[in-house]
Structure 1
Amino acid sequence: MVMHPPPSYCPQGEKRFCRLHKSLYGLKQASRQWYSKLSHVLTLAGFCQSNANHNLFITTMGTMFTAILIYVDDILVIGNNLPTITTLKNHLATAFKIKDLGNLKYFLGIEITRSLAGIFFNQRKYILDILSDASQLGSRPAYFPMEQHLKLNDIDGALVVDPASYRRLVGRLIYLTISHPDIAYTVNLLSHFMHAPREPHQQTAFRLLQYLKTIPSYGLFFSSTYSFQLSAYCDSNWASCPMTQWSTTDFVV
């Protein structure tokens, strides 16, 4: 691969090119090379790449568990053994120039609060940003995600003027379900009409924002005394879709 040299590097009138021997930060090849190098270093440290998410690396030894989540050039380290995490950071420091930012407090719109009782996740700032962008900060609050017995279809109502804004809003709401499983059904319903949203769909989305306005600080709490045991909850609604008469079911683990 070649690149043009910086200005004033070559004498006037000469045309030269630089041949790259390594990837430079900012070039389109840099992110791939960085990921390849980091993956190699983590593999040598005994980590296995997740098949479900290639940005997740995991290692276990007995009851000790350590996970690494990669986002661009940021690394999130999670584990239940502090000496193991310290050893990992020292190993990474031998291969890269790293900066330890301490305990996690904010990551990709998710706020993390730690205490002796446990860890609390919420997306308060993310919710307020959504409300502000949708001009719903001054709207009347609602106490349920959607109206009871509401049946949405792709026929009733006029098409919205700006469908891109609807798609963007629903996309942000999908990300919000990370800490708000209570809105999962409504968001799933709204996502069915991304191709041609109509006024009833947009009004339902705004109603959901009014509900979120009442609970911006709600989130998920993981107790430090809770036993490490998976629990699953399931519910279904028979023939609930007015267009297809299909049933709806989902589960939470």
Structure 2
Amino acid sequence: MDVKNAFLHGDLYEEVYLQPPPGVDAPSGYVYRLRHALYGLKQAPHAWFERFVSVMQAAGFSPSEHDPALFIHLSPRGRTLLLLYVDDMLITGDDVDHISHVKRHLNEQFQMTDLGPLSYFLGIEVLHSAKGYYLSQSKYIQDLIVRSGITDNRTAATPTDLHLQLRGTDGTPLEDPSHYHHIVGSLVYLTVTRLDIAHAVHILSQFVSAPTSVHFGHLLRVLRYLRGISSQCLFYARDSPLQLHAYSDSTWASDPTDRRSVTGYCILLGSSPLAWKSKKQAVVSRSSTEAKLRALATTTSEIVWLRWLLVDFGIVCGAPTPLLCIGAIQIANDPVKHELTKHIGVDASFTRSHCYQKTIALQYVPSELQVADFFSKAQTREQHRLHLLKLSALDPLLPP
């Protein structure tokens, strides 16, 4: 007999059907009451996070105002940080004794396994050396290539063809698009460490609703590129200066179907990349200057958030963050030109206000040195290699 159970938790209402335990009969008209959230219900993640927050606050931690999954503990002996992802966590800090105390406290409250020093987390491999840290997803790449079903041994020098322009009508529709969906979804997660495929994945992910044979062929090229350079890592040097700087650029009307532009940016702390993006803009820009100004506003927003987050890590960015770009600098700095930019006034005003607040400092960079091009357009083989070096994307098995 299935017994209907209805309950209210906060602002959420849910109905489920429970099977009573053997030997228990529910009289007609009675229902079961859940005293705790069950795994799989809408309330479960919220209830789990509330419970975890209460435990961390009892241990003297405070949630970050800029990332609720980051918990911070300050004491005269140093700073301890805990980052939570569902039920996996990273703990680091200056005070080793306090870290041991936190792990004992958590072990008393939850069933917990201590995996020791960080070496593997959510598919990301972490290698330690005297010079710094390497982040890679080489095992994830190998597993993905096996699941893709590629039977040849070919590799590619770059993830996309130069001047690639794909349309939804190219080729014939795939009979079973689920394989395309699976590979693209895996590649999206792979861009966590493989910034070199960000632009290619941005293009291919636009066709997941109706992929064709042509789209799938270009998808296989990305996999062949990854197979040839699967051991590549992001390198974070120990002696890298703690100075934030960013690159921002955009194409103009580059999409052949809807004529929208692509924003590309990269933000680095010293020589270490922290954030990057390749994304189509939400609206059509009527000039290249307008497209670049929209890209500046997007990059500025990310810089502001990173500056806040770095304070939680004990890194105060007192000086303005250099934002290197090619165009739109004068409009972003000069409010007199508002007559020409009323239709993009919000982006212009947002960027300009942070220029005045000394959050950012717009600086011109020649196009050949614009690292953000890596995220907005395809590169030649030599340009691709140079950008990898600039972004500290190295193969630890090979000399730089």
Taking structure 2 as the reference length, what is the TM-score of the superposition?
A: 0.55
Identify, as 1 or 2, the structure richer in helix. Answer: 2
Q: Secondary structure at the match of 1:104?
A: coil
Q: Secondary structure at the match of 1:168?
A: helix
Percent same amino acid among aligned pairs? 38
Q: Which runs of 5+ in 1 are unaligned?
A: none
Give the alignment's Cα RMSD to 1 decimal.
Answer: 2.8
Q: Secondary structure at the match of 1:213?
A: helix
Mapped contact 2:20–2:26 kept (Cα < 8 A): no
Q: Which moved more, 1:199-208 or 1:64-73?
A: 64-73
Mapped contact 1:131–1:137 kept (Cα < 8 A): no
- The superposition leaves residues 59-111 of structure 1 with CA deviations (integer Å, 9 ceiling, x where unpaired) of 45689443323334332223344233223223323433433221122121111
Match of 1:161 in 2: 175
Tell me the distance in 2 between the aligned counterparts of 1:143 and 1:27.
44
- The superposition leaves residues 192-232 of structure 1 with CA deviations (integer Å, 9 ceiling, x where unpaired) of 11221122211111111110011111121111222222232
Q: Secondary structure at the match of 1:165?
A: helix
- The superposition leaves residues 118-157 of structure 1 with CA deviations (integer Å, 9 ceiling, x where unpaired) of 2111001110111111112633100111111111111222
Q: Secondary structure at the match of 2:244?
A: coil
Q: Secondary structure at the match of 1:231?
A: strand
Distance 1:152 1:221, change over 3 A: same
- 1:38 and 2:52 correspond: yes
Tell me the distance in 2 between the aligned counterparts of 1:130 and 1:97.
32
Match of 2:202 in 1: 188
- 1:119 and 2:119 correspond: no
Q: Secondary structure at the match of 2:250?
A: strand
Distance 1:58 1:174, change over 3 A: farther
Q: Which runs of 5+ in 2 are unaligned?
A: 7-17, 268-400
Aligned length: 248
- 1:43-54 matched pairs, under 5 angstroms: 43-50=57-64, 53-54=67-68
Paired amino acid for 2:196: D
Match of 1:220 in 2: 234
For residue 144 of structure 1, the aligned residue among 126, 150, 158 is: 158
- 1:41-120 matched pairs, under 5 angstroms: 41-50=55-64, 53-60=67-74, 64-120=78-134
Tell me the distance in 1 between the aligned counterparts of 2:62 and 2:212.
46
Distance 1:244 1:40, change over 3 A: same
Tell me the distance in 2 between the aligned counterparts of 1:63 and 1:80.
7
